[in-house]
Amino acid sequence: MKWITSVAFLGLLAVGQTATAADKLTVYSYRQAFLVEPILARFTAQTGIDVDLVFAKDGITERLAREGRLSPADIVLTSDFSRLVELVDKQLTAPVKSAQLDSNIPAQFRDPQGQWYALTMRVRNLYTAKDGLGAQPLTYEALADPKYKGKICTRSGKHPYNIALVASMIAHHGEAQAKTWLQGVKDNLARKPQGNDRAQIAAVKEGVCDIAIGNSYYYGNMLQDPEQKTVAEAVTINFPNQAERGAHVNVSGMVLTRHAPNRDNAIKLMEFLSGDVAQKAYAEVNMEYPVKADVQPSQLVASWGAFKADSLPIVKLAHYHQAAVKLLDEVQFDL
For 203, the domain range is 122-248+310-330
When pLDDT is cut at 50, 70 and 90, the band that residue 144 belongs to is: very high
221 and 287 share one domain: no
pLDDT class for 282, splitting at 50, 70, 90?
confident
In the predicted structure, residue 118 carries a pLDDT above the cut 70: yes
Residues 6+ apart with CB under 8 A from 287: 216, 217, 219, 220, 221, 224, 298, 300, 301
Kindly state whether residue 305 falls inside one of the protein's structural domains.
Answer: no
Domain assignment present for 259: yes
Q: How many domains does the chain have?
A: 2
Q: Residue 220: pLDDT above 60?
A: yes
Residues 141 and 31 in one domain: no
Q: 301 pLDDT exceeds 90?
A: yes
Looking at the fold, whether 69 and 155 belong to one and the same domain comes out as no
Confidence of residue 285 (pLDDT cuts 50, 70, 90): confident
Question: Do 242 and 267 fall within a single domain?
Answer: no
Indicate the SS3 state at residue 146: helix
| Same domain (yes/no): 11, 145 | no
CA 26, CA 6: separation in Å to the nearest integer?
32
| pLDDT number for residue 20 | 43
pLDDT of residue 80: 87
**Mean of the pLDDT values across residues 310-316?**
92
Between strands 50-55 and 117-129, the pairing is: unpaired
Residue 335 lies in a domain: no
- 25-29, 31-35, 235-239: segment of lowest average pLDDT: 31-35
- pLDDT digits 0-9 by tens, 122-143: 999 999 999 999 999 999 999 9
pTM as predicted:
0.86
- List alpha helices for the chain, DSSP H: 2-22, 33-47, 60-67, 81-89, 99-104, 160-173, 175-187, 197-205, 216-223, 229-233, 263-273, 276-286, 299-302, 315-319, 321-330
Q: Are residues 265 and 208 in the same domain?
A: no
Q: Do 45 and 149 sit in the same domain of this protein?
A: no
Same domain, yes or no, for 265 and 314?
no
Beta partners for residue 255, in sequence order: 76
Average pLDDT over residues 274-301: 93
CATH of the domain at 242: 3.40.190.10
Query: How much is the pLDDT for 8?
Result: 35
**Co-location of 271 and 325 in the same domain:** no
AA identity, residue 186:
K
* pLDDT greater at residue 104 or residue 58: 104
Q: What is the CA radius of gyration of the chain?
A: 22
CA distances from 47 to 42, 100, 188, 232 (A): 9, 17, 53, 40
pLDDT over 90 percentage in the chain: 86
Amino acid letter, 292: K
- DSSP conformation letters of 102-115: HHHS-GGGB-TTSS
Distance CA(301)–CA(288), nearest Å, equals 8
Over residues 208-225, mean pLDDT: 96
**Residue 304 maps to a domain:** no
**Percent of the chain with pLDDT strictly greater than 70:** 93
Band the pLDDT of 16: cuts 50, 70, 90.
very low
User: Is residue 230 assigned to a domain?
Assistant: yes
Query: What DSSP designation does 25 have?
Result: E
Number of alpha carbons in the 13 Å side-chain half-sphere of residue 133: 22
Whole-angstrom Cα distance, residue 231 to residue 130?
11
Instruction: Say what the pLDDT of residue 22 is.
Output: 59
Helix or strand or coil: residue 85? Answer: helix
- How many Å apart are CA 236 and CA 286, to the nearest integer? 19
**Is 83:30 a contact under the CB 8 Å cutoff?**
yes
State the average pLDDT over residues 310-319: 91
Specify whether 176 is located in the same domain as 272: no
- Residue 50: its pLDDT value, please? 96
Q: Are residues 326 and 197 in the same domain?
A: yes
Q: Are residues 150 and 8 in the same domain?
A: no
Domain-located, residue 303: no
In a domain, 50, yes or no: yes
Pairing of strands 24-29, 50-55: parallel
